[in-house]
Structure 1
Amino acid sequence: MENLTLVEPAAQLSIWALFWQAGWVVKLVMIGLLVASIWTWAIIVDKLISYGRMRSALNRFEQVFWSGQSLEELYRTLSDRKTTGMASIFIAAMREWKKSFEKGAKSALALQTRIDKAMDLALSREMERMESRLGFLATIGSAAPFIGLFGTVVGIMTSFQAIAGSKSTNLAVVAPGIAEALLATAIGLLAAIPAVIAYNKLSTDASKLASRMEGFADEFSAILSRQIDEKVPQRA
């Protein structure tokens, strides 16, 4: 009998038991936070992999672009492929370049403006793709602790009602209710902490990748500008 007395309280305070003993509001809060935590980790893993691939793609493209290969040849190589990053910016600029000269470019300034606009749009699409779903991490990082706290408040209120009904403040009566209430806060922090850390890191990584692409767009714009001056010097 002594062994049973020692085992039962521990079993009642296990995480699984606390979940099942909790009220339906607290259960919904816990389940919602657990789902948010799983989705948060899915986003984190996906972004880490995609950013790693983006870095590799940028490195490969820079190596090929600055190897001395002609722009026309590089354009023919990449035009039929699915491109990302700098390659997408390059393709957008070259496509506008070729269309303009096929139709007979009459103004160097107008051509330069159209090429820069095409590269800006391609860069915006790449940045939007990189930063997609980061807002979810920011939301979870800021809201999850308060959602967990809401579950805790509801759980503690329920515990106080049970105490009032039993007319006993014995720790054995109070402990399970308080523990299940605090479990909601713990799950909220479990979801929020990785989300905040990941959001800060991934945002920094996205900014670095965007800066590299912006730098390439500026360099490529200068290269095309010199070629435009050579092709249409009298109309610049």
Structure 2
Amino acid sequence: MQGGEISPVELFLQAGPVVKAVIVMLVLSSLWCWIIIFEALWTLMRLRRAIKSEGAAKGRMGQVIGRIFATGREEAFEAQASPAESDRRTAITAAMKRRAQELIESSQRGLPNLAVIASVAPFVGLFGTVWGIMTSFAGIAAAKDTSLAVVAPGIAEALAATAIGLAAAIPAAFAYNRLAAAFGITGRALNRLIEDYGTRLARENTAVAPMRKKIA
């Protein structure tokens, strides 16, 4: 670290074993955070495309939306005995919304991990910093030299843990809030689509039911 330059690699190599372990843990947490973020964004994009196309989009999400509509059609067949259209619509939409809720929950299953990283990473980094400072002071006492040249490298190595902890926590906190809001909006859009589809199914059954009674 000559000339005031700070090299992350040198900081890591010169740190003690506990601080090294903390830094490795935080770096892995940061990588895991970005994997969750990109996976959630990709899932959200496919889900929105499938909702916009009303299940006609290709791929897994389109198939899942199609299965939700299939559940509504099955429930519509079962609800034909109900004379009231409102009762049929309620039963149909309730069946589809249960499947939709399962879809939304599975799509955002990684978000709680972002919340954990956002809340825990700064404290893990702070632990590494405190431990590193304690080790530095112990070394200073053993060397019996309190000059800044002796103190500064150890303090810098210790503070690196806090910096890495914040680097992991800040994107996790931001992504958690934004993705949770985005999934909430997408879930409401899916519910509106389900209600519209459920209304159509209930009206179709209302028109078909008298014909079936005549045939019977």
Please, what TM-score do these two structures have when normalized by structure 1? 0.78
Matches within 5 A, 1:88-103: 88-98=67-77, 100=78
Provide the aligned C-alpha RMSD in A: 2.6
Deviation at 1:113, TM superposition (A): 5.2
1:197 aligns with one of 174, 186, 208: 174
1:42 aligns with one of 26, 35, 46: 35
Deviation at 1:11, TM superposition (A): 9.0
Residue 68 of structure 1 is matched in structure 2 by: none
- For structure 1, list consecutive stretches of 5 or more residues without a partner in the other structure: 1-7, 65-77
Residue 20 of structure 1 is matched in structure 2 by: 13
Residue 69 of structure 1 is matched in structure 2 by: none
Residue 24 of structure 2 is matched in structure 1 by: 31
Residue 107 of structure 1 is matched in structure 2 by: 82
For the residue of structure 2 that corresponds to 1:165, the secondary structure is helix
Calculate percent identity across the aligned residue pairs: 40
Aligned partners of 1:45, 1:203: CA distance in 2, in Å?
14
| 1:154 counterpart letter in structure 2 | W
Please, what TM-score do these two structures have when normalized by structure 2? 0.84
Does 1:154 find its partner at 2:131?
yes
Aligned partners of 1:166, 1:132: CA distance in 2, in Å?
52
Instruction: Answer yes or no: is the 8 Å Cα contact 2:51–2:193 preserved in 1.
Output: no
| 2:160 counterpart letter in structure 1 | L
> After superposition, what is the alpha-carbon deviation per residue over 1:43-78, rounded to whole angstroms, capped at 9, x for unaligned?
11122122112222222227x6xxxxxxxxxxxxx9
Instruction: Answer yes or no: is the 8 Å Cα contact 2:76–2:92 preserved in 1.
Output: yes
Matches within 5 A, 1:66-81: none
Aligned partners of 1:232, 1:150: CA distance in 2, in Å?
69
Aligned partners of 2:199, 2:144: CA distance in 1, in Å?
81
